[in-house]
Structure formats: C-alpha cells, structure tokens
C-alpha cells in the first residue's frame, strides 16, 4: 500500500460527497485485510501508522493518538506549501497532558528548535480520559478557543494555555507576553457530535477547517464519509 500511487480524483470529488468505490475498497483492504495488524501502512513526520492505527477510523472506533498526530501534521504540511493560508503549528497529543499535570518545565525543551510565536495558529489536541477535544491558539487574531464536540466546559485548559504562552515567551524571548485585546472562548457555536465515538474525527475536522479559516459547516452526518476520506489522506500523505 505504501508504494501504491492512486489518483486523488478517484477517491472523492468534494468533502461532503460520498467517497468513490475505489476509496471504499482501500478502506476495506486496510480494515478487513488478512495481514498482521502491526503491518506498517504509511510513515511521515516521524510517525508510523499501522493497519491497527488506521483501523481506528473504521465504524465507530475511537481515533488513537497516532492518527490524530499524523493528520494534524498533514494540516501543517498543507499550510506551509500553500500561499494565503495561515501558518500552522501542531503540538502532539502528549503536550497538553504534560503541561497540565507536570507544568511548563516538562515541555520547555519541546520547542527549542521552533519559535511558536512566528505562527498564526497553534493546534493543541487534548485527551480527556475517553474524549478528544481541541484548543486553538490564534496568535494572529489574539484569541484562544476551546472546541469540544460535546460542548463540555474546560476553563482550566484556557488558563493552562495562557500560562504556557506567558512562560514560553519569557523563556524564549526574555520578555513579558502581553494579553491586551485577547479573547478566550469555550466555543458553543460549533458542530456537535451525537454519539460517543466520533470525537477524534471532530477534532481533526475542527483543526482542518480552522486552518483554512473556513466556516465549520460540517455535521455529525458527515463523519462516516470523513473517516474514509481520512484513510486515503493518511495513506497518500496529503490532504484533499
């Protein structure tokens, strides 16, 4: 599968249309294949995705951290390669767990080779036991937004990221970060999930739409198709 070259247009013509037969066949080969679940299907960004990882996109399974990390890196890759899109940086799925439980020192060296303040958007995936959420630090628009497809409230996250920006700026810039004019929001005007398994897909789509500053016009009904489209995107290492 890694070496297989497949025309993008065969798979889906629009994000809201059903994937083609070829796309469904790709999913079925991965999800129902007889090969080992540990078989490596694709690799990029220092992340390997196995058949088991990609199988978390099937049916109503919960997405795992490998799939989410890989997908967010695809968003960053597109941002870097496309003019007029916001410049995007994605933290990995362990970042928030570390900073919220162990403090700034546990992640201070994670950005020693990158200046996060040169980016427009910072994507922060958040795992709350059995639920995925997303925070977006919008440095260009001066705001931090929390996206929970179950509309949960997590002011602690906003405070945690605000403190992180303060400490990161002081550590890397030796100056005080100013929050004048900033807004902090637990977003309620967002698509909402109606089951207990699609939170990871919602997180990926929140990030993807926000990275284009596009209206979040998707709904729960799009999730089954998104899962199939995402399999293709991950295998081909490129967003549609």
The domain spanning residue 25 has which CATH number?
3.40.395.10
Question: How many whole angstroms separate alpha carbon 215 and alpha carbon 135?
Answer: 17
The pLDDT, as a whole number, for residue 16 is 56
**Has residue 171 been placed in a domain?**
yes
The active-site residue, picked from 24, 65, 120, 131, is 131
The active-site residue, picked from 133, 148, 157, 160, is 148
Q: Is 148 in the active site?
A: yes
Q: Are strands 88-90 and 47-50 parallel, antiparallel or unpaired?
A: unpaired
Domain that holds residue 18: 8-236
**Has residue 28 been placed in a domain?**
yes
The pLDDT, as a whole number, for residue 24 is 81
**Has residue 1 been placed in a domain?**
no
The pLDDT, as a whole number, for residue 10 is 40
The first and second tokens of residue 3, run together, are 């070496």
Give residue-wise pLDDT tens across range 120-173.
Answer: 999 999 999 899 999 999 999 999 999 999 999 999 999 999 999 999 999 999
User: Token match 């605000």: residue?
Assistant: 162
The active-site residue, picked from 133, 157, 160, 199, is 199
Q: Nearest CA to 150 among 199, 206, 221, 83?
A: 199
The pLDDT, as a whole number, for residue 25 is 85
User: Token match 């002081």: residue?
Assistant: 170
Question: How many whole angstroms separate alpha carbon 220 and alpha carbon 4?
Answer: 31
Helices (H), the chain: 21-32, 51-55, 65-81, 95-102, 155-173, 199-211, 223-236
Question: How many whole angstroms separate alpha carbon 157 and alpha carbon 163?
Answer: 10
**Has residue 3 been placed in a domain?**
no
Q: Is 199 in the active site?
A: yes
**Has residue 77 been placed in a domain?**
yes
- Distance of alpha carbon 128 from the chain centroid: 15
Q: How many domains does the structure of the chain reveal? A: 1
- How confident is the prediction along the chain (240 residues), in pLDDT tens digits per residue? 443 433 333 434 345 556 667 778 889 899 987 789 999 999 999 999 999 999 999 999 999 999 999 999 999 999 999 999 999 999 999 999 999 999 999 999 999 999 999 999 999 999 998 999 999 999 999 999 999 999 999 999 999 999 999 999 999 999 999 999 999 999 999 999 999 999 999 999 999 999 999 999 999 999 999 999 999 999 999 998
Question: How many whole angstroms separate alpha carbon 77 and alpha carbon 45?
Answer: 10
**Has residue 122 been placed in a domain?**
yes
Tell me the sheet residues that pair with 147.
134
Question: How many whole angstroms separate alpha carbon 144 and alpha carbon 186?
Answer: 9
The pLDDT, as a whole number, for residue 111 is 97
């Amino acid at each position: 599968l890694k070496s297989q070259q497949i025309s993008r247009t065969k798979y889906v013509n629009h994000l809201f249309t059903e994937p083609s037969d070829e796309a469904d066949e790709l999913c079925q080969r991965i999800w129902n294949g007889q090969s080992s679940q540990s078989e490596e299907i694709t690799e990029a960004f220092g992340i390997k995705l196995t058949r088991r990882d990609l199988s978390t996109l099937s049916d109503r399974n919960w997405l795992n951290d490998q799939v989410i990390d890989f997908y967010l890196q695809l968003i960053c890759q597109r941002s870097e390669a496309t003019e007029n899109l916001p410049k995007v940086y994605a933290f990995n799925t362990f970042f928030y767990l570390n900073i919220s439980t162990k403090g700034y020192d546990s992640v201070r060296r994670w950005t020693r080779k990158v200046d996060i303040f040169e980016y427009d958007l910072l994507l922060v995936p958040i795992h709350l036991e059995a639920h995925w959420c997303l925070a977006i630090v919008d440095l260009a628009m001066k705001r931090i937004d929390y996206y929970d497809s179950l509309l949960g409230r997590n002011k602690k996250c906003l405070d945690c990221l605000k403190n992180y920006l303060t400490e990161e700026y002081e550590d890397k810039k030796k100056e005080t970060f100013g929050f004048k004019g900033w807004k902090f929001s637990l977003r309620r005007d967002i698509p909402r999930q109606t089951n207990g398994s699609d939170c990871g897909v919602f997180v990926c789509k929140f990030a993807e739409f926000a990275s284009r500053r596009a209206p979040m016009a998707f709904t729960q009904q799009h999730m089954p198709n998104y899962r199939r489209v995402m399999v293709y995107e991950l295998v081909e290492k490129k967003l549609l």
